[in-house]
Amino acid sequence: MIIQLDKNIQTVELEKVEKKLAEINYKATSVKTQYADYLIAVGKKEFDIRAIGTLPGVKDIHRVSDAYKLVSKKWRVEDTMIDLGDGLQIGTGNFAIMAGPCSIESEEQVEKTINHLAAQGVKIMRGGVYKPRSSPYSFRGLGIDGLKMWHERASAAGIKIITEVMMVEQIEDMLPYIDVFQVGARNSQNFNLLDALGKVDKPVLLKRGISGTIDELLQAAEYIFSNGNERIMLCERGIRSYEKAYRNTMDVNAIAILKEKTHLPVIADPSHGIGVRKYVDKIALASIMAGADGVIMEVHETPEKAFSDGQQTLSFPQADRLYKRMRQTFDLRENF
Ligand code: PEP
Ligand code: MN
């Protein structure tokens, strides 16, 4: 059960709500986000929610039986929009493209990518400076110095930055230089990291775990929300299956289902989703038709020379074609 409280609820009023919950054996957790105060009450007993809904200081009350609550659409029917500032919005009819290399490699690469994105009206650049790699001997990213260099150039061009954070300790250092924190598939259930990202007021793009279920993804998002941060996007990036013909199995089904289960924006990552360059465009378009609010994709001036994930990275001309088709497809879907 979600109880939304008045921001200025009196202590005596709050005590009355808590007393009522205790009477019916419901365990209450207080959640304070950048936008509102809530009590999340969990218990078994059936009762008339009006007994609490009519108490002074209570703004709204909803029964949500799912394990995840605040991210559920059963409670918040209207979709959430993520505002990145400067007129850039994600969700609720605003299609987002986030493109860039798998890894930030050099100043020259950043410069070329920014020019490519700016020419196509793409306003959000992706790239990793902390790279989770299967092998410890692979390139693991330029770190905070690379991020600072990237930020200087991106902000001068009016381009926002989304990049992966791997550890709680990195959050504070990264904070001034990023617009969206990305939680990678390998950290999708790193609950300490999710707790910590719940305490910052920057949007978080949370990827689905490599073998994560839809329910686990939603519960992971609930960690961020319940720690105080409502600005969350979910990302389908493919899951591990028995199929060996491609890198991952892009679960397009999950996009349609997530759009029904949650009010949070859903972003598709077709690059990791299939992991093979020549199919990325088709999977991107399929994801949009399934309901995605945006696409995050890997691009590079010379994909075959990329430090990581070159096999699934589009060249600039290939990406240009896809941006155009994605925008057309999004318009088509919106007018379906
Ligand atoms: C990435 O975005 O480059 C990445 C490592 O993604 P994922 O966490 O989905 O594997
Ligand atoms: Mn990658």
Ligand 1 in contact with 102 (CB < 6 A)?
Answer: yes
* CA 62 to ligand 1 center in whole angstroms: 36
- Report the alpha-carbon distance of residue 7 to residue 59 in Å, rounded: 9
Ligand 2 centre and the CA of 33: distance in Å? 31
Phi, psi of 85 (to 5 degrees): 85, 170
Q: What is the DSSP string of 207-242?
A: EPPTT--HHHHHHHHHHHHHTT---EEEEE--B--S
Backbone angles phi, psi at 258, to 5 degrees: -60, -40
Cβ neighbours, 10 Å, residue 138: 12
Q: Specify burial of residue 82 (Cβ count, 10 A radius: 0-12, 13-18, 19+).
A: buried
Q: Which residues contact 66 (CB under 8 A, 6 or more apart)?
A: 72, 74, 218, 261
Mutate which of 135, 138, 207 to test ligand 1's pocket (most atoms within 8 Å of Cβ)? 207
- The three-class DSSP label of residue 195 is helix
Per-domain residue ranges for the chain? 2-62, 82-334
Residue 201 to residue 217: CA distance in whole angstroms: 20
Surface-to-core class of residue 90, CB atoms within 10 Å of its CB (0-12 exposed, 13-18 middle, 19+ buried): buried
Q: Ligand 1: which atom is nearest the Cα of residue 128?
A: 3
Nearest ligand 1 atom to the CA of 272 is 9
Report which residue type is found at 286.
A
184 lines ligand 1 (CB under 6 A): yes
pLDDT tens digits along 255-290: 999 999 999 999 999 999 999 999 999 999 999 999
Q: How far is the CA of 233 from the centre of ligand 1 (A)?
A: 15
Nearest ligand to the CA of 131 is 1
Q: How far is CA 151 from CA 116, 326, 327, in A?
A: 16, 27, 26
- In angstroms, the CA 271 to CA 283 distance is 9
Ligand 2 centroid–CA 165 distance in Å is 14
| Predicted pLDDT at 45 | 84
> Which protein residue has the closest C-alpha to ligand 1 atom 6?
184
With beta carbons less than 8 A apart as the criterion, state whether 261 and 73 touch.
yes
Would you state the pLDDT for residue 46? 84
Name the average pLDDT for the chain: 97
Question: Ligand 1: which atom is nearest the Cα of residue 207?
Answer: 9
Q: Is 268 in the pocket of ligand 1 (CB under 6 A)?
A: no
**Which one of the ligands is nearest to 207 CA?**
1
Angle at 150 between CA 111 and CA 130, to 5 degrees: 125
> For ligand 1, is residue 20 a contact (CB within 6 Å)?
no
User: How many angstroms is it from 149 CA to the middle of ligand 2?
Assistant: 20
Domain 82-334: CATH superfamily is Aldolase class I (3.20.20.70)
Closest by CA position to 312, among listed 158, 183, 126: 126
pLDDT digits (tens, 9 = 90+) for 49-71: 999 999 999 999 999 989 999 99
Terminal-residue alpha carbon distance, the chain: 35
Question: What residue owns the CA closest to ligand 1's atom 1?
Answer: 102
pLDDT at residue 266, rounded to an integer: 99
**Between vectors from CA 141 to CA 138 and to CA 146, what angle results, nearest 5°?**
160
Which stretches in the chain have pLDDT values below 70? none
**What fold does the segment set 2-62 form as a domain?**
Alpha-Beta Plaits (3.30.70)
